[in-house]
Amino acid sequence: MSPRRPRWLYWRFWVQFASTVLANNGLVNATKGLCWPTLNCWACPTAAFGCPMGALQNSMSAWRWRLASGGVLEAILGLPWYILGGFLIVGALFGRMVCGWICPFGWFQELIGSLSRRKIRLPRWLGYPRYAVLVGLALVVAFLTGEPWFCKLCPQGFLEGGLPQPLLRPELRSGIGWLWYTKLAIFLTFVLAALFIRRPFCALACPLGAIYSLMHRYSLWRTVFLRERCTNCLWCVRNCPQGIDPREDLDGHLCIGCLECQKCPFDAIVSLPAWRVTGCSTACSHHDRKNRTGEADAGY
C-alpha cells in the first residue's frame, strides 16, 4: 500500500468544473436520455445528460401501472433496472466519491460556502433525514401520485431548470405560481445555509447522496486511516469540507469522498482499491471497526 499522496488529489476543483461543463455542455442532445451519476436537471437548457433521481421517480409511476395491470413477474421485469443497476455500479465502484468530485450542485454549494469562513458542525444524526427524502418523497410519493415530487421541489432543478427557463422563454412566465415560489424559497434557504453549513443540501436532504452513502463504506475505492502514523495535529479535522473528524468517522454516512483529508501532512490517510487494502496495518480504521463490531476479517 503506497502512503504517498497522488497529484490528482489537488485537481478536485477542476474535476468539478469539468464535470459541470461536460454534463451541461449544451451541444450534445443525443445523450440526454442517459443519466449523469449525480443530480443534473434534465430541464436545464444546456443539459447534455438526464438526472437519475428524475428517471427513478418517473419510472415509479410507470411501475405502478405495470403492477396494477400485470402479475408478479411483470412487476419484477418492470422495475427500473437500468437506473438501479447504474446506482449499484457507480456506488460499488466509487461510493460517494461522485458527490465529492463530480456533482455540479455539490460544487455550487462549495463555491457559495467559500464566501464565508464560519461554519457550523452538524451532528451526525442530521444525515438521516436524507433517507426519509429518498424513501418518502422520491419513491413512495412518486409511486402513489405518479408525479416526480422531489424534482418539483429540488433546489438543483431550480438552479438548472426552474430559474433559467422562464428567463430565456418569456412565454413560460405566465405559468409561474405557488410551486415555483416554493421552489425558489427552498433554493434560497439552501444557498443561505451554505454560508454557514458545509454543503447543507448534501448533508441534510439529498436522496441520491443517501443511496451512495449506503455503499460508500463497501465500495471498491476505499479510504483508510492509519492510526500509527497520526500525530493528532487535527489538520484533517479543520479541513474536512463536511466537518467530519476523519480519525473517527472517515467513511461514515456524512463523508462525501472528497479525499481532502488524504492531504494529511503525515500520510496517515490513504485511499486505494479494496484489493490493495490487504497489506494495511492492523491500526487502520477498517480494523478498528471490525474490532468494535466483531465483523469477520474480509481479507484486509
Binding site for ligand SF4 (CB under 6 A): 100, 223, 230-236, 240-242, 244, 246-247, 250, 255-261, 264, 266, 268-269
The C-alpha cell that represents 72 in the structure block: 408478479
Considering the complex, state which of residue 153 and residue 269 has its C-beta at the smaller distance from ligand SF4: 269
CB of 99 to ligand SF4, least distance (A): 9
Which positions ≥6 away from 75 have C-beta within 8 Å?
63, 66, 67
Q: Output the smallest distance, CB 212 to ligand SF4, in A.
A: 12
Nearer to ligand SF4, 182 or 281 (CB): 281
Minimum distance from CB of 192 to ligand SF4 (Å)? 22
| Type and span of the H or E element at 150 | helix 149-153
Check residue 234 and give left, alpha or beta (phi > 0: left; psi -120 to 50: alpha): left
CB closer to ligand SF4 out of 159 and 244:
244
Distance in Å, CB of 182 to ligand SF4, minimum: 30
Q: How far apart are CA 126 and CA 132, in angstroms?
A: 11
Report the residue number, 38 or 223, with the smaller CB distance to ligand SF4.
Answer: 223
Contact by Cβ (8 Å): 238, 203? no
Amino acid occupying residue 192: L
Cα separation, 109 vs 241, in Å, equals: 11
Based on CB atoms, which residue is closest to ligand SF4, 147 or 249?
A: 249
- Of all helices (H) and strands (E), which one includes residue 264? none
**Nearest distance from C-beta of residue 247 to ligand SF4, angstroms:** 6
Q: Could you tell me which residues are beta bridge partners of residue 50?
A: 35
Q: Please, which residue, 13 or 82, has the CB nearer to ligand SF4?
A: 13
Output the smallest distance, CB 191 to ligand SF4, in A.
21
Q: Give the nearest distance from C-beta 12 to ligand SF4 in angstroms.
A: 10
Provide the 8-state DSSP code for 297: P
Assess contact for 24 and 47: CB atoms under 8 A. Answer: yes
Strand pairing partners for 35? 50
Q: Is the Cα torsion angle 129, 181, 162, 196 positive or negative in sign?
A: negative
For ligand SF4, the closer CB: 59 or 262: 262
Enter the DSSP assignment of 14: H
